[in-house]
Structures are given as C-alpha cells and as structure tokens.
Structure 1
C-alpha cells in the first residue's frame, strides 16, 4: 500500500510539473509541397521563409517558439532556386546549429550539419549565409546548406 501511495504521489508530481512548465515548446510539421504548406498557413505564420521556392516538396520543419530557432528541410527542383538564395553569400565556414538543441528539437536533422562537424568536408554541399530571410513580417538571418546530389535544402535559423 505504501508503494502505491508513493507511486501516485510521483505521478501527480510529474503531472503538476508538466502543467506548471507547460507543453513542449517545439512544434514539428511536414508538408507534401509548397501549395499544401501555404494552405496550412506555414508561410503566413513565419515558420517557413517566404522565399521558399514554389517547387519545394517533402517539406519538414521544426521550430521552438521560445527560442525562435527553426530547422527546415525540403527537396527542390531547379525552378525558383535563384530567388531563394538571392541576397545570400556563399560561406565556406558555416555556423552549424547547436547539436544538443537540434537533436532535441529536430531529431530528423542530420548529425553532419550540427556543431562539432564544422571541419568535415561535405562533398556536394554549398553553404550560404543569408542576412535577411523573411518570416511572416520579420527579417531573420538564416543559413542554408544545399545538398546538390540529393537535391535537398537544409535551412536553419537561431542561436549557434
């Protein structure tokens, strides 16, 4: 009986903590393509950049509402790519996102694009620093990794 009472108190404490500290502040979503993402309000809410190409498909995004960090992945076709990276500069030394926070908030993000991997040679990638990407009505600095052979864009915003 004593074990049962302790177990109930532990469960109630955990429930109280989850209510006090609120729900997980990270949201992840997937969209089949640009049109679906647009209809779902992903561009208007600011969780996807307005510059995302219309040819984007297989879109996955995670964002943390407290830290404003964002991780976005999508496949692309050549159409619209120049518009996506207009105003960005090629960077040979990207600042990868924080590994611990990225693993927690975007577990689908590849390890090779996290802090601690900066010195690895990533063949087939081009990295960009974008000082102003539009998210809803806010301009944010972002980084982009283009995996040319895989035709995948990796896009991140936030603390390093």
Structure 2
C-alpha cells in the first residue's frame, strides 16, 4: 500500500516535468525593442526585418522543427511594406500555419498575402506573411506543411 502511495506523487511529478519540457514555446513582447532585448531576434523567432515600431508581438515556435508563428501590430503611420524577398501570393497557395492560437486568424479573406524566401531561411520550411485589411495587423509564419 505504501509503495502505491509513493507511486502516485512520483508519476504526477514526472508528468509535470514532461509538460514543462515541451518543444513548443510561446512568448509575448510589448514591442520589437523588447523582443530584441529578450534575444528573440538573435534566436531567430522574431525576424530582423520586423519594424522597430511594431508592438504587441506574440510568437509561438517549435524548437525541433523551427516552425514559427508571429503576430504584431504596426504603427498607424507610415505605411509599411513587406521585405523585397516577399512576393504577393494567393492565400490558397501558402502553407497553413503550423500552430493555431486564439490571436492568429484562421482565414485570410481580405488579407494581402505573400510567399517569402528570407535569405537566412533554412531548408524544408515555407515562409509566408499576411497583412490584415486594416493594414496594421501582420501575421508571419514558417511551416513544413
């Protein structure tokens, strides 16, 4: 009986430890500057080309696959243009984001969508960008799908 009582907390502790070691991580930053200070840009989870004026950054990434999802808000002025390595593309031709989050849209109706080939991109991942009709909400993702 006492072995059984010891086994229950040990199992619970192991499950908790396993949950803490997830390969998928989420982060929030109030600004691009905060993301840079936290190392998210140097680690590659927030692209270097995200404008310094970007705010409300939310990102999710998988440490093993390098798939990622990033949302941010642009300042009202001046109008922002995606980097030159992003070309307009039909949303249906883009890979679906690897993650679903409440803060990320699941439909890109009305969005300006782009296929991107960043120079620092690794093999096996497709990169995409979507700008909401308001011109301020941006979603960026890399996916192996």
State the TM-score, normalized to the length of structure 1: 0.72
CA separation in 2, counterparts of 1:8 and 1:108? 41
CA separation in 2, counterparts of 1:126 and 1:22? 37
Aligned length: 139
Q: Alpha carbon RMSD of aligned pairs, Å?
A: 2.7
**2:121 paired residue among 139, 142, 149:** 139
Q: Which has the higher helix share?
A: 1
**Aligned 1:15-54 pairs, distance under 5 A:** 15-16=13-14, 19=17, 23-54=21-52
For residue 127 of structure 1, report the CA deviation from its aligned partner: 0.6
Q: 1:54 to 1:79 in 2, by over 3 A?
A: farther
Q: 1:7 to 1:146 in 2, by over 3 A?
A: farther
**Aligned 1:9-158 pairs, distance under 5 A:** 9-16=7-14, 19=17, 23-77=21-75, 78-79=77-78, 81-82=80-81, 84-92=82-90, 93=92, 94-98=94-98, 102-103=99-100, 106-112=101-107, 122-123=109-110, 125-132=111-118, 138-140=120-122, 141-149=126-134, 151-158=136-143
Question: 1:62 aligns to what SS in structure 2?
Answer: strand
Q: 1:7 to 1:157 in 2, by over 3 A?
A: farther
Structure number with the bigger relative contact order (C-alpha 8 A, sep ≥ 6) is: 1
CA separation in 1, counterparts of 2:5 and 2:103? 34
State the TM-score, normalized to the length of structure 2: 0.78
Structure 1 unmatched runs, 5+: 114-121
